[in-house]
Amino acid sequence: MQEFHMSAHHSNKPVEPIAAERTAKLFEPVHVGSLPLKNRVIMSPMTRTMAPAGVPGEANAA
């Protein structure tokens, strides 16, 4: 089965998967002001408030 991703404009045409070289920077450490972060992946605060006990789980990741 061939993997494909839908583009932002919801076309039915398959688009190429994003190359690892283009996304690697997402997983590098970064400082935002004086706050050190392990990576550039951020979870929305709204997701946390909708999670049981404030801890996001599988259902929040969908």
Q: Is the pLDDT of residue 58 over 60?
A: yes
Two structure tokens written together for 56: 């996001």
Two structure tokens written together for 37: 């972060």
Q: Are 37 and 29 within 8 A, CB to CB?
A: yes
Rounded Cα distance between 3 and 32, Å, is: 35
pLDDT band at 56 (very low <50, low <70, confident <90, very high): confident
Interval 2-40: pLDDT, tens: 444 454 555 677 777 778 888 889 999 999 999 999 999
pTM above 0.75, yes or no: no
* pLDDT the model gives residue 53: 76
